[in-house]
Homo-oligomer: A and B are copies of this chain.
Amino acid sequence: VTAPRMAAVLGLGLIGGSIARGLAAKGVSVAGFDVDPDCANDALQCGVLGSVLDPTLSGLENAEWVIIAVPVTSALELLGRVSRLATQATLITDTCSTKRSIDAEARRLGLASRFVGSHPMTGSEKSGWAASRADLFEGATTYLCAASDSHGAEALEAAENLWSLLGSRTQRITAFNHDRKAAATSHLPHVLSTTLAMTLEKLGIGPEELGPGGRDMVRIAKGDEVLWKTILLDNADLVAEAAETLFAELMLFRTALAERDAGFVQNQLARGREWSSRSR
């Protein structure tokens, strides 16, 4: 695995902070930026960053890899500036949970041969620099969405090197297929967890009244609402598509309970158990 001399990480939250820590641990000089100067200074003082970028991002021209680790709406804005400034970069990537919009923006900016979208599957209800750690990506899968099938071989190889350095497996996927899958596996579960929390609040129940199973079901609702709002809105059409399938299943379950249809209820529970228990 070839490591670059210098990489830039824009955004030092849970994901960006963990990338900076992981790369620094592998001897890469990391230049970092965060809207919160305290985070960047803390990262500098603890030796994770070699340098702090100012808001003009001057110095970005020296970075071989540029990693944008901010919520998708900010990432879309930032990508235009990065495309102008990062003249030496062989890889520009992001870590957003949705991939269609940033992929389209990279193509529009003429970055197809240098941009590869990344999505490490390490979601957590924790967030921020304080929660970051060098081993966050160890053993996790990272999806890679190359913006060009024909011209991005070098960038794709660099993206694979980046995630390999961080201990993550990579898997290629198109941006559309990624977003459809993420809608079902991550975004819809988040909507459900939030909706369950809201329902329990309306019913006058406190979280301390939950058993272990209920607690698991509302854990991801603890995620940052600004981040999750941008994710859900960016992928709203495909979240809605996945939700329709869920609504249909939920209505069937409701009818079966109302009619005390023991056979249907047991069959649904058995299929859910079988699916959930499939080896991983």
Contacts and interface: CB of A to CB of B under 8 A. Distances in A.
Interface of A: 121-125, 181, 184-186, 188-203, 205-214, 216-226, 228-229, 232-233, 236, 239-240, 242-243, 245-247, 249-250, 253-254, 257-258, 260, 262, 265-266, 268-273, 275-280
A117 B249 CA distance: 34
A257 B240 contact: yes
Contacts of A211: 121-123, 185-186
A142 to B, nearest CB: 11
B262 A212 contact: no
Nearest to A198: B249
A191 B253 contact: yes
Given A222-B276, A226-B266, 9 more contacts: A124-B213, A186-B213, A199-B249, A207-B275, A221-B273, A221-B276, A223-B269, A240-B257, A240-B258
B232 A202 contact: no
A246 B199 contact: yes
Nearest to A261: B233
A202 B166 CA distance: 34
B272 A212 contact: no
